[in-house]
């Protein structure tokens, strides 16, 4: 279904989505800073929890390099709030239940799960530069060890 994958140099598709508290957050709010936008399948699942906690634990170094972090999933804000509070996450988690943003970023579509082709969220990470262009696009990333690899890729 989705072949609209983003590549470095592409304009990052703008979005405005509710965070865990129901407040709108837009990609354009981050103009002038770099921001990691990552898409994950479901809050409070083992892989997504590990990935979110890795981002949380590396926020100091990322922030020191001028990089913010936003996580996006199809979960409703109430589920995101519980996830944030349970894991003490300190970066915005945004809700995209109709998957419009996920689809625009190429992070929703056909993937292989347990040997079967299914429609779902493709775990993906992007670095958007200060001008709003894609600097790094990674699809089908692993939940475990991903943030460490990302820091190596970005020399952070």
Is 0.85 surpassed by the pTM of this model? yes
The answer to the question of residue 5 being in a domain is no
Higher pLDDT, 143 or 82: 82
Nearest to 138 by CA among 18, 30, 5: 5
The answer to the question of residue 8 being in a domain is no
Residue range 17-46: mean pLDDT, rounded: 96
Is the confidence at residue 113, as pLDDT, over 80? no
Q: If you ran DSSP here, which 8-state letter would residue 56 be given?
A: H
Residue range 8-34: mean pLDDT, rounded: 97
Q: Which domain holds residue 65?
A: 16-154
Is the confidence at residue 1, as pLDDT, over 90? no
The answer to the question of residue 31 being in a domain is yes
Is the confidence at residue 45, as pLDDT, over 50? yes
Distance CA 56, CA 61 (A): 10
Q: What mean pLDDT, rounded, does the chain reach?
A: 94
The answer to the question of residue 91 being in a domain is yes
Q: Quick one: pLDDT band at residue 3, thresholds 50, 70, 90?
A: low
The answer to the question of residue 67 being in a domain is yes
Distance CA 10, CA 1 (A): 20
pLDDT value for 99: 96
Q: Quick one: pLDDT band at residue 114, thresholds 50, 70, 90?
A: confident
The proportion of the chain whose per-residue pLDDT surpasses 90, expressed as a percent, equals 84
Assign residue 54 the CATH number of its domain. 3.40.30.10
| Tens-digit pLDDT profile for residues 53-107 | 999 999 999 999 999 999 999 999 999 999 999 999 999 999 999 999 999 999 9
For residue 76, report the phi and psi dihedrals to the nearest 5 degrees. Answer: -75, 155
Is the confidence at residue 116, as pLDDT, over 50? yes
Distance CA 91, CA 84 (A): 9
Show the tokens assigned to 95.
């809700």
**Total number of domains constituting the chain:** 1
The answer to the question of residue 62 being in a domain is yes
The answer to the question of residue 1 being in a domain is no
Q: If you ran DSSP here, which 8-state letter would residue 133 be given?
A: B
Q: If you ran DSSP here, which 8-state letter would residue 29 be given?
A: G
Which residues are catalytically annotated? 48
The answer to the question of residue 2 being in a domain is no
Q: Quick one: pLDDT band at residue 4, thresholds 50, 70, 90?
A: confident
Q: How many residues does the chain have?
A: 156
């Amino acid at each position: 279904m989705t072949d609209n994958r983003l590549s470095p140099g592409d304009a990052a598709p703008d979005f405005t989505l509710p965070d865990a508290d129901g407040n709108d957050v837009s990609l354009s709010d981050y103009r002038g800073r770099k921001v990691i936008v990552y898409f994950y399948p479901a809050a409070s699942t083992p892989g997504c929890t590990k990935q979110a906690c890795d981002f949380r634990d590396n926020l100091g170094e990322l922030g020191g390099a001028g990089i913010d972090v936003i996580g996006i999933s199809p979960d409703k804000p109430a589920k995101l709030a519980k996830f944030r509070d349970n894991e003490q996450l300190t970066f915005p988690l945004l809700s995209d239940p109709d998957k419009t943003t996920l689809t625009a970023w190429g992070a929703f579509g056909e993937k292989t799960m347990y040997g079967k082709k299914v429609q779902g969220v493709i775990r993906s990470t992007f670095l958007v530069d200060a001008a709003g262009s894609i600097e790094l696009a990674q699809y089908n990333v692993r939940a475990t060890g991903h943030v460490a690899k990302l820091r190596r890729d970005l020399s952070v």
